[in-house]
Amino acid sequence: MLDGTYVAMVTDFKQGSLDLDGVRALARKLIDGGVTGLVPAGCTGEAATLSTEERVAMIKAVLEERGDNANIKVIPGTGTNSTASSIELTRIAEDLGADAAMLITPYYNKPTQGGLIKHYETVASNVKLPIVLYNVPGRTGVNMLPETVAELAKIDNIVAVKEASGSVDQVSRIIAESDITVLSGDDSLTLPMLSVGAKGVVSVVANVVPGQVSRMVSAFLEGRADVAREIHLKLLPLMHVLFVETNPGPVKALLKMLGHGTGEMRLPLVPISSESAKKVRDVMHGVALL
């Protein structure tokens, strides 16, 4: 089961190019922080602007940093708005030795629910790798409904869904209608989602505080809800400020403040404004990250 804390990794850039040294350093920090797994080349990793060669290089780098540590799962983002290219990227991840692949619902195309089923069925039938569905309607323009998830959960190698619709009600319906593993895709809703049966999170804030997010999830799953609630409330301001502008701008800015990376984004995304940077810095001091 893919339960626990997974990190939606940022992608480090330097002067426009992929910074593999930065990617490796972040991977080591997150592994040392006690997370369950790493998710390179997803939305937080600016995957839509990565070339295939860059994706491959990043996945390889993360897998190499993981090494033979079987406790750490690597689940790259391999979804695009093309079924054919999603198959190609998922096969590459499989060949490289990834543990699973995360596939976002096709963006821009706005497929129907029938189209989503056909898309994922087609990818799943062309690979053996376990597949994690990824529903984030705020970015894709389409919401994968609970009944669609339930239908896809019947496919053997579709094993989990990262649910980022912002609706705990939707998570409740998914869990009621299927036995698929649900992972939170919204940091501030992770604890509420866990309370209705989710098993973990694919976290943005864990780029910065991997240990605290891991402890929160573990505490809840081990029956220590009071400890999980305490950590959740402590981290809530950080969870909110990291979305003051489009992700991953704020988290990249915060990582730079803490001494990691350049904060560089790839167009059409740009670094956050000075006003937003001040908000991030204020929260950083408020939660004693320095």
Give me the catalytic one of 6, 107, 134, 252: 134
Which DSSP string corresponds to 207-250?
Answer: GT-HHHHHHHHHHHHTT-HHHHHHHHHHHHHHHHHTTSSSTTHH
Match 């081990």 to its residue by tokens. Answer: 222
Q: Could you tell me whether strands 73-74 and 101-104 are parallel, antiparallel, or unpaired per DSSP bridges?
A: unpaired
162 a catalytic residue = yes
Bridge partner list, 267: none
Residue 208 in contact with residue 258, Cβ under 8 Å? Answer: yes
Residue among 192, 208, 190, 206 nearest 260 (CA): 208
Give me the catalytic one of 6, 107, 120, 162: 162
120 a catalytic residue = no
Whole-number Å distance between alpha carbons of 258 and 175: 38
Residues known to be catalytic: 134, 162
